[in-house]
């Protein structure tokens, strides 16, 4: 890979002696998010532009929410988009392991180092004590819920509590007065009043690090030169800077990319747009169209052309053409681009894409058992399975309402269904059925009524094959999108 120093930008400096090492650091706590692909694209193209390295790190220190399925789905989805990495948990690399749960000893060691240096301290507050503190601090109009009462505990007292085996966390000592200024590469200096910053917990009482400690320690140990991440992390950056100072380390360059927005300018969310990469794959979006679309989120080509490949983006890439106004994640635009790419494919190439999509033997073999008993001619197969390949046409609102249920009641039920779908991890018929039956109890709806709503929404027909097998075949991401669409249709 060659570097292109002539394109080094003033806003995001690159040391010619030190090719960039950048990373994405997703938490494996849900479906692979389109925002992860957006951030990955800009990290990758920047690294490649300057002959650097793009790393994938898994931030799975939230043990209650992280799952191996989610991690596997992130790998799969990013590879589908074509955003592959040079170092990561699955491909290895010189500074691994690349999964935070395998690096816990490093965080503990580093927390201890800060305690020994007087930059951090042990806080023995119990949950009840913290609750009480929160209340009094609020009454007093204090800026922080934590009153720092363990910050200057005499050493002998700390030793006594430790000897007693009292559970404790490790907190960072933040300066109490003055200001912290971060240098943000695209925005310049951003100043925070220190009295707004709390003594951040670094290590929890179970010995697990918080995001802040693990993130900074890993960025340092992995030699990260540029932290390129979403705008929502700007408020964390002064804490990170403070950690770099406490360790005596040179901070990396910080670059925060603008948040993707829905058409109404609100932050992109699954309530308004599908956000799972799996949805876009199943919905028939081509990865190169998605990359093109994401490349236009805040960034433009020198000639402002809308259609460009990854290679073209790479050729012209500089953060100097990053615009900070919230880019709109406009699905009509994505469809338009996708159409352009589709029409460029020669018939045999298009056939290959169709086969790689849902017309694979593997998927057809999953579909066949669903309709085998319900067809008399081969030609029946197409109409009987159309809802598995394309989006069912929305029905008139009344058709979704079970007898005796109002639109408002059905809307409520759809909200609960959407929630169930969002939270359901193992997308398989039997556990899905159990979950939906439990939901009937909660909502006090007859299974027959609730299932008919789910069936109509998911398949567009009252006469589809067994419901939960059908949901399994549609997949979580598309079921989610169909439920959201029905929610917009069946208004209270």
Catalytic residue among 270, 403, 423, 476: 270
Residues of this chain, 223-242, that bind ligand GLU according to CB under 6 A: 229, 233
CB of 491 to ligand GLU, least distance (A): 34
CB of 321 to ligand GLU, least distance (A): 22
* Closest residue to ligand GLU, based on beta-carbon distance: 229
- DSSP alpha helices (H): ranges in 123-210? 127-139, 155-163
Phi, psi dihedrals of residue 206, rounded to the nearest 5°: -85, 5
- Of the listed pieces 24-32, 82-90, 341-349, 417-425, which binds ligand GLU according to CB under 6 A? 24-32
- Of the listed pieces 25-33, 84-92, 141-149, 249-257, which binds ligand GLU according to CB under 6 A? 25-33
Rounded Cα–Cα distance for residues 449 and 408 (Å): 15
61 binds ligand GLU (CB under 6 A): no
Complete DSSP assignment for 381-432: HHHHHHHHHSPPPPPPHHHHSPTT--HHHHHHHHHHHHHHHHH--S--HHHH
- The angle, 0 to 180 degrees and rounded to 10, between the axes of the packed helices 447-459 and 467-474 is 30
**Residue 235 has what DSSP assignment?**
G
Active site residue 270: yes
Which residue of 14, 20, 26, 289 would you call a contact of ligand GLU, by CB under 6 A?
A: 26
Our CB check for ligand GLU shows the closer of 76 and 448 to be 76
CB of 241 to ligand GLU, least distance (A): 13
Confirm if 397 and 490 have CB atoms less than 8 A apart: yes
Our CB check for ligand GLU shows the closer of 39 and 197 to be 39
CB of 127 to ligand GLU, least distance (A): 25
27 binds ligand GLU (CB under 6 A): yes
Which residue of 43, 215, 385, 452 would you call a contact of ligand GLU, by CB under 6 A?
A: 215
- Of the listed pieces 21-29, 110-118, 190-198, 289-297, which binds ligand GLU according to CB under 6 A? 21-29
In a 3-state reduction of DSSP, which class is residue 179? strand
Residues of this chain, 336-355, that bind ligand GLU according to CB under 6 A: none
Rounded Cα–Cα distance for residues 480 and 421 (Å): 6
The percent of the chain in helix, strand and coil, each rounded to the nearest 5, is: 50, 10, 40
Tokens of 422: 């969002």
CB of 426 to ligand GLU, least distance (A): 22
CB of 34 to ligand GLU, least distance (A): 13
Our CB check for ligand GLU shows the closer of 158 and 230 to be 230
Phi, psi dihedrals of residue 60, rounded to the nearest 5°: -115, 40
Tokens of 182: 């971060």
251 binds ligand GLU (CB under 6 A): no
- Residue in the structure block whose two tokens are 């570097």: 3
33 binds ligand GLU (CB under 6 A): no
CB of 70 to ligand GLU, least distance (A): 11
Which residue of 12, 22, 25, 290 would you call a contact of ligand GLU, by CB under 6 A?
A: 25
Phi, psi dihedrals of residue 48, rounded to the nearest 5°: -65, -40
Our CB check for ligand GLU shows the closer of 96 and 402 to be 96
User: Which run of H or E residues covers position 149?
Assistant: none
59 binds ligand GLU (CB under 6 A): yes
User: Which run of H or E residues covers position 69?
Assistant: helix 68-81
Burial of 113: CB neighbours in 10 Å, binned 0-12, 13-18, 19+? middle
Rounded Cα–Cα distance for residues 191 and 21 (Å): 27
Confirm if 3 and 314 have CB atoms less than 8 A apart: no
- Of the listed pieces 22-30, 89-97, 286-294, 353-361, which binds ligand GLU according to CB under 6 A? 22-30
CB of 55 to ligand GLU, least distance (A): 11
Our CB check for ligand GLU shows the closer of 27 and 225 to be 27
Q: Report how many residues bind ligand GLU under the rule CB under 6 A.
A: 8
Our CB check for ligand GLU shows the closer of 57 and 482 to be 57
Our CB check for ligand GLU shows the closer of 66 and 180 to be 66
Tokens of 458: 């998911």
Phi, psi dihedrals of residue 188, rounded to the nearest 5°: 85, -150
- Residue in the structure block whose two tokens are 């994938």: 56
In a 3-state reduction of DSSP, which class is residue 19? coil
In a 3-state reduction of DSSP, which class is residue 255? strand
Give me the active site residues, please: 270
Residues lying near ligand GLU in the complex (CB under 6 A) are found at 25-27, 59, 211, 215, 229, 233
């Amino acid at each position: 890979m060659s570097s292109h120093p002539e394109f080094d930008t003033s806003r995001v400096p690159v040391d010619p002696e030190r090719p960039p090492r950048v990373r994405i650091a997703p938490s494996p706590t849900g479906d692979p998010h389109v925002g992860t692909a957006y951030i990955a694209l800009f990290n990758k193209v920047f690294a490649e532009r300057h002959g650097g390295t793009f790393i994938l790190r898994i931030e799975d220190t939230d043990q209650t929410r992280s799952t191996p399925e989610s991690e596997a789905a992130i790998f799969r989805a990013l590879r589908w988009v074509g955003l592959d990495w040079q170092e990561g948990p699955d491909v290895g690399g010189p500074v691994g392991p690349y999964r935070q749960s395998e690096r816990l000893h490093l965080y503990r060691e580093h927390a201890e180092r800060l305690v020994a240096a007087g930059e951090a301290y042990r806080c023995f507050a119990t949950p009840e004590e913290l609750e009480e503190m929160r209340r009094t601090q609020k009454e007093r109009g204090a800026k922080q819920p934590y009153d720092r009462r363990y910050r200057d505990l005499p050493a002998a007292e700390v030793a006594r509590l430790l000897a007693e085996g009292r559970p404790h966390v490790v907190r960072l000592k933040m300066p109490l007065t003055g200001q912290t200024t971060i240098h943000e590469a695209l925005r310049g200096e951003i100043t925070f009043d220190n009295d707004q910053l709390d003594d951040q917990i670094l290590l929890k009482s179970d010995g697990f690090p918080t995001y802040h400690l693990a993130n900074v320690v890993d960025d340092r140990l992995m030699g990260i030169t540029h932290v390129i991440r979403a705008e929502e992390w700007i408020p964390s950056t002064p804490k990170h800077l403070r950690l770099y100072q406490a360790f005596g380390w040179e901070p990396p360059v910080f670059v925060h990319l603008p948040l993707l927005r829905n058409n109404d300018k609100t932050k992109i969310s699954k309530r308004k747009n599908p956000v799972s990469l799996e949805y876009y794959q199943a919905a028939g979006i081509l990865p190169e169209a998605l990359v093109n679309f994401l490349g236009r989120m805040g960034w433009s080509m020198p000639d402002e052309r809308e259609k460009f490949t990854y290679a073209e983006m790479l050729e012209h890439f500089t953060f100097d053409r990053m615009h900070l106004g919230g880019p709109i994640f406009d699905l009509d635009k994505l469809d338009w681009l996708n159409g352009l790419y589709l029409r460029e494919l020669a018939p045999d190439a298009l056939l290959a894409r169709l086969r790689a999509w849902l017309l694979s033997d593997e998927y057809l073999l999953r579909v066949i058992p669903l309709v085998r008993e319900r067809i008399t001619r081969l030609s029946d197969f197409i109409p009987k399975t159309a809802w598995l390949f394309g989006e069912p046409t929305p029905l008139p609102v009344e058709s979704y309402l079970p007898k005796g249920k109002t639109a408002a009641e059905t809307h409520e039920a759809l909200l609960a269904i959407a929630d169930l779908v969002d939270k359901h991890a193992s997308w398989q018929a039997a556990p899905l059925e159990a979950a939906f039956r439990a939901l009937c109890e909660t909502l006090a709806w007859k299974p027959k009524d609730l299932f008919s709503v789910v069936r109509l929404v998911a398949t567009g027909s009252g006469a589809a094959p067994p419901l939960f097998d059908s949901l399994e075949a549609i997949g979580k991401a598309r079921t989610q999108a169909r439920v959201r669409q029905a929610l917009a249709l069946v208004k209270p």
